[in-house]
A and B are shown apart, each in its own frame.
Chain A
Amino acid sequence: MKNKLISLEDAVARIPDGASILFGGFMAVGGPSRLVDEIIRQRKTGLTIIANDTARPHQGIGKLVVEKLVAKVITSHIGLNPDTQKQMIAGDIEVELVPQGTLAERIRAGGVGLGGVLTPTGVGTSVEEGKRTVEIDGKTFLLETPIKADFALLAAKQADLYGNLTYALTARNFNPIMALAGATVIAEAEDILPVGCIAPDAVMTPSVLVDHIVTAKPR
């Protein structure tokens, strides 16, 4: 099997303007910060970003919003990034707000080949608008559609050279789910290890899902 380690520059050069990108991370914890900085350096524009939140203005993917590289965001929370709110109100950025648990399951559905998920979350609220409802055993559910993207950019604690990944503590969050739903998956790892150093039971994202790895450590 090939060694999947590539340079940061190469990794980001594969992303075209206008790409849709899933970003791991929760308030930038467990988010691929070097990949974000390199996207800014290479000025990738018109991006659709899908992530739990837009962090803070100068943190994680919040920077992409500040740099005006984002056309659309699909997310559960923008409350701590006033720039996202300002650009949304000005009409410069399209924002689709999704309940957090629904966002996780829509991405999972996209990644595991399901046609959608049925959730009670949002029934009877503004989230229901324009969606089909389904009744099962007397209970009403919303049909939420799958999410996939051109890329998934992840942050891992460890990667081996095949691309098996582990995550640490609350830095795991959306990363393993997004690994399934990106057409091209790039993981930024703190430690890059020889194949065999991560025990099979310890692998949290199997290497078959990962296309490229980059190091999280600046050279």
Chain B
Amino acid sequence: MDEKTLIAKRVALELLDGDLVNLGIGLPTLVARYVPAGRHVFFQSENGIVGMSGPINGAENHDLTDAGGSPISALPGAASFDSAMSFGLIRGGHLDVTVLGGLQVDQEGKLANWMVPGKMVPGMGGAMDLVTGARRVIVAMQHSAKGESKIVKRCTLPLTSVRRVDLVVTDLAVLEPTDAGLVLKETAPGVTVEQVIANTGAELIVSPDLRTMPLEG
């Protein structure tokens, strides 16, 4: 199993029956494939739909796309609406879970994921509203990039929000930011605690209930 699949499978276990969920572009999009059987989850796309589903070959509609402009389909029971309603759902606490990619997460659980000054300035899109307003924020990302840990003492990149994220799932571990600090709750199959610590730029508290990351619901 590749790293992205592992992360997506682990995140999918966090989604509960009846949840309204927003998935960010890229890795988080993969999560939709692994929702455990028997759990009915509504996916929101912030361009204005609840109840989105994957594209159906030959049935593409140019008025029905995801936030990247790619074709999707709508499940029975779906609803479409304007951008104020869409962000009302997000900011107003009606969204149960958002899953986003990350550039850095720090010891306090703060996320930076929208720009690298001087290098990459895509804009925040909906990320700041999602992190500020969703009931639960899950970051799905590789533990390191270009040999450097993305889990850091303090974010050096511009923050997406000052709100503490709820869970960080990487290819090495599951981390939970708490009042006491960043708690190592799970290690990926075949990964040791020492390996996680060696690849992490922040202090970790090893949970007394540490376990191997489950991948099936």
Cβ contact within 8 Å between A101 and B63: no
Query: A124 and B65 in contact (CB under 8 A), knowing A105-B84, A105-B87?
Result: no
Residue B202 interfacial (CB < 8 Å): no
Contact B162 A123 (CB under 8 A): yes
Q: Is B160 in contact with chain A by the CB < 8 A criterion?
A: yes
Contact of B64 among A80, A121, A169 (CB under 8 A): A169
On chain B, the residues within 8 Å of A126 by CB distance are 158-159
B45 within 8 A of A: yes
- What's the Cα separation between A174 and B160 when bound, in Å? 23
Q: Interface readout for B55-77 with A: 1 if CB under 8 Å, 0 if not?
A: 00000011111011100001000
Which residues does chain A contribute within 8 Å of B65, judged by CB atoms?
26-27, 29, 170
B-contacting residues, A22-66, CB 8 Å: 26-30, 52-53, 55-56
- Using Cβ atoms and an 8 Å threshold, which residues of chain B touch A173? 47-48, 82-83, 86
Chain B, interface SS category: loop
Is B80 interfacial (CB-CB < 8 Å)? yes
> Does A207 belong to the interface (CB within 8 Å)?
no
Which parts of A86-102 form the interface with B (CB within 8 Å)? Answer: 88, 97, 99-102
Q: Which residues of A contact B64 (CB under 8 A)?
A: 168-170
- The 8 A CB mask of A98-116 against B (1 = contact, 0 = none) is 0111101100100000000
Q: How far is the CA of A108 from the CA of B82 in the complex (A)?
A: 11
- For the complex, give the distance between the alpha carbons of A30 and B67 in Å: 12
Whether A26 contacts B90 in the complex (CB less than 8 A), given A75-B123, A79-B122, A85-B121, comes out as no
Contact size class for A?
A: 35 or more
B122–A172 CB distance below 8 A: no
19 contacts between A and B (CB under 8 A): A28-B69, A29-B62, A75-B123, A99-B125, A99-B128, A100-B129, A104-B86, A121-B128, A122-B161, A123-B161, A123-B162, A124-B159, A126-B158, A126-B159, A127-B124, A168-B64, A170-B45, A171-B63, A177-B83
- Report which B residues bind A (CB closer than 8 A): 45-49, 61-65, 67-69, 74, 80-84, 86-88, 90-91, 121-129, 132-133, 158-162
